[in-house]
Structure 1
């Protein structure tokens, strides 16, 4: 069984978000909540989700400084798919959610033979309004999700290639309450590690792939442990002009370990999700804006969700070059 989360990695960082925490046996073992998340297929306490990568997708701005990266999205879900990938009418729902994930990224003034580094602070804020049709679960809540930190390393080679990796941690800092049926964040922390490759031709093709492993910690309030996750994000865009890009983003997320309540394994509740959608990106010079649509192609033990994302990257402070 899987809960979604608001908030995790930058695709330097990662997920889109699974919206509902459907508890095994419909709220067993005193675990009363359903945690919503904000991207179209992201269980676990990640701040960022598959299929909704940031504008840099693992790469870094070309100069050192302090940058703001923000993704703001609105998503809806009306049906939940069971382990066979088909709709489970018991969990039909009406969910509307919004999330804004801000990242303050500091790019270090260091270049070690092509290796560059950056540090991010991740601040998610979310709103969730959920009402299940056939079970007595509903609620409306907003608040901060789990705050996170990400350390990024990136290496550029040739004219168009870069590779890199990141480690991140999303701390349990949100206002999760077991007394609430609906939350904006899971009640546990998550550590993750990811690697990426990006081919970027500013006059043509831009292709990227990012893969990451997410290790979830136990919810101490409920003794519930969400299984670890593997996520892959990918993008393919083309520069129509020197300012405009069009293409698509996608992401695949799979739960690779079973959930547990105490020492009891919850069988047949592993999450899988695949999201795809078009994107358009425009470079205003100092700032870049992208608009993306994500829809659920595959959802197992998860709601089918549609999401619209608006992304912004802009410098806050760039030091003057030394003469």
Structure 2
């Protein structure tokens, strides 16, 4: 019976597409436009426990909104008219093989999101787009240390399949490749304490249309909760984000624009006990620097084929 979700990275274009607009506004933002190939906070309870061998379907729903972005000192750097709203439906296919590597199960996954994006910078400067986002392909190794403790190591590759034009106000794609090693841990107890942590190091390649290379990023998705014994787990979840290295454009370092943020909000999981489960989470950004200040609602469903 399917119990838990695989923990490889989710490539929702929404969170990255939203922030591609900022470069047109004359301010400096962490990474190009202040975004990332990975939608921070996407994972939730049981993020890092692989299911038994087989093929599984997953789908995420995301609603994101932002009405300002913060600068290097935490000051608002966007006009009062600024607004971003984004929605995504993100299907994901996961294949867990029968192959064992160093005592771990070997798996693979693929993701191709569908995104609707509305951006307003100022009166007369607005744009809406709908289309596919940037694809993710990945491989994962998962260990089951006990019935409660599970860990994973993974490697994801992000491909620039989403639409992009450097002169547009809204862009669904990032227009560059990225590589992301992943390490994760899940402690799962249906009648007690639950904890999940997924750590990602993002290595961004150059956007050749703008000659811009975003810095490396450390991202931690987390969830803490308590299992009630009836399939429900209640708690909190979110992410921590810190840009590690400086951006570069035209071979010159972009100073004083490293991003950081921390988000937290309520989180809930329901496990049917029949092979499918649902996660829901709301997260609000805090301590934002050189990025947009966002509110995001996540809904995730997992089911075996």
Asked whether the two chains share a fold, i.e. TM above 0.5, the reply is yes
Closer, same or farther: CA 286–277 of 1 in aligned 2, 3 Å: same
Structure 1 residue 44 corresponds to structure 2 residue 44: no
- 1:183, distance to aligned residue in structure 2 (A): 0.6
Q: 1:283 to 1:25 in 2, by over 3 A?
A: closer
Q: Number of matched residues?
A: 292
Partner of 2:3: none
Unaligned runs of 5+ in 2: 1-5
CA–CA distance in structure 2, aligned partners of residues 219 and 131 of structure 1 = 24
Aligned twin of 1:199: 187
Contact residue 183 and residue 199 of structure 2 kept, 8 A: yes
Task: Determine the structure 2 residue equivalent to 1:302.
Answer: 291
Residue in structure 2 matching 1:211, options 186, 199, 204: 199
Q: TM-score, normalised by structure 2?
A: 0.88
The two structures, once aligned, show a CA RMSD in angstroms of: 2.3
Aligned counterparts of 1:197 and 1:286: Cα–Cα separation in 2: 21
Q: Deviations over 1:68-102 (max 9, x none)?
A: 11111111111111111232244751111111222
How many Å apart are 1:54 and its aligned residue? Answer: 4.9
Q: 129, 134, 141: which one pairs with 1:146?
A: 134
The equivalent position to 2:67 in structure 1, one of 70, 75, 78, is 78
- Provide Cα deviations, 1:184-228, integer angstroms capped at 9, x if missing partner: 121111101011122112322211112111001101111111111
d(CA) in 2 for partners of 1:15 and 1:149?
9
TM-score by length of 1: 0.83
Q: Distance in 1 between matches of 2:7 and 2:263?
A: 15
Matched, 1:241 2:233: no
For 2:57 and 2:231, how far apart are their aligned partners in 1? 20
Please show how residues 1-323 of structure 1 align to structure 2 within 5 Å. Answer: 11-13=7-9, 17=15, 19-21=18-20, 22-23=22-23, 26=26, 43-46=35-38, 49-54=39-44, 56-61=46-51, 63-90=52-79, 93-111=82-100, 114-133=103-122, 137-284=125-272, 285-316=274-305
Tell me if the contact between 1:55 and 1:288 (Cα under 8 Å) persists in the aligned partners. Answer: no
Question: Can you give the 5+ residue segments of structure 1 that lack an aligned partner in the other structure?
Answer: 1-9, 29-33, 36-41, 317-323
Assess if the C-alpha contact under 8 Å between 1:212 and 1:232 holds in 2: yes
